[in-house]
Chain A
Amino acid sequence: IAGITQAPTSQILAAGRRMTLRCTQDMRHNAMYWYRQDLGLGLRLIHYSNTAGTTGKGEVPDGYSVSRANTDDFPLTLASAVPSQTSVYFCASSSRGTGANVLTFGAGSRLTVL
């Protein structure tokens, strides 16, 4: 089934630990995004990539890094997790440049930092 796969589904980790959230899409979308969703707030963009080999900073990039080595994969890394990074993280993709920029989302990764 075409779509986006995120892993892990949920994770609890200690503050200071390094963590990578994985995201893979099989729709050959050129653009990919990482969002965090917190109660009472809208989705906030962390990082994005308009095409393989390029990345950009979103609204809340501090403490996070991404890479886009190929079209399909867009991992998000927390170098040293802090409790304020407790959130639900959504990866998304779109065929940017062809009509409306409709995003397809992964199922989300729930991260708790203690």
Chain B
Amino acid sequence: GQNIDQPTEMTATEGAIVQINCTYQTSGFNGLFWYQQHAGEAPTFLSYNVLDGLEEKGRFSSFLSRSKGYSYLLLKELQMKDSASYLCAVEDSNYQLIWGAGTKLIIKP
């Protein structure tokens, strides 16, 4: 079956760096997405990786290794507003998105 694994919850300190990991087993691969979801709100797009390597976008970076079925989202200079759930999703060979359950990130001052 298809599976996306990510930690349920993580805690980090304001100003620090945190890495959220995502491993996947899917029927084919057409890209990996990260979304941010604040409590009670809709998910919003953060990043997209289709080739191996690091994609940087401001304080957020996303890394992909297709051979290892692995990605991470790196958040630098953490701010209180970064407290949210981070969803990893993979587009499979049928162009359907498979979603992880999300990682709830708690930022402490």
A interacts with B: yes
* A interface with B by C-beta (< 8 Å): 40-45, 58, 90, 96, 100-108
Interface of B is mostly: strand
Contact B33 A42 (CB under 8 A): no
**Is B43 located at the chain interface by the 8 A CB criterion?**
yes
Contact B43 A107 (CB under 8 A): no
**Chain B residues, Cβ within 8 Å of A58:** 96
In the assembly, what is the distance between CA of A101 and CA of B87, in Å? 15
Interface footprint category on B? 20 to 34
**Chain B residues, Cβ within 8 Å of A106:** 42
**Chain A residues, Cβ within 8 Å of B96:** 45, 58
Count, A-B residue pairs, CB within 8 A: 46
**Is B54 located at the chain interface by the 8 A CB criterion?**
no
Contact A43 B48 (CB under 8 A): no
Report the minimal beta-carbon distance from A31 to chain B, rounded to whole angstroms.
Answer: 10
Contact B48 A103 (CB under 8 A): no
Contact B31 A100 (CB under 8 A): yes
Interface of A is mostly: loop
**Chain A residues, Cβ within 8 Å of B99:** 42-44
Contact A102 B97 (CB under 8 A): no
Query: Knowing that A102-B48, A103-B43 are A-B contacts, what are 17 other residue pairs whose CB atoms are under 8 Å apart, sorted by A's residue number?
Result: A40-B101, A42-B87, A42-B98, A42-B100, A43-B43, A43-B89, A43-B99, A45-B96, A90-B42, A90-B43, A100-B33, A100-B48, A101-B91, A101-B97, A103-B35, A105-B43, A105-B44
In the assembly, what is the distance between CA of A37 and CA of B61, in Å? 26
- Chain B, 62-109, CB within 8 A of any chain A CB: 87, 89, 91, 95-102
Report the minimal beta-carbon distance from B59 to chain A, rounded to whole angstroms.
Answer: 20
Mask, B28-42, CB within 8 Å of A = 1, is: 000101010000011
Task: Give B91's nearest chain A residue, CB to CB.
Answer: A101
**Chain B residues, Cβ within 8 Å of A105:** 42-44
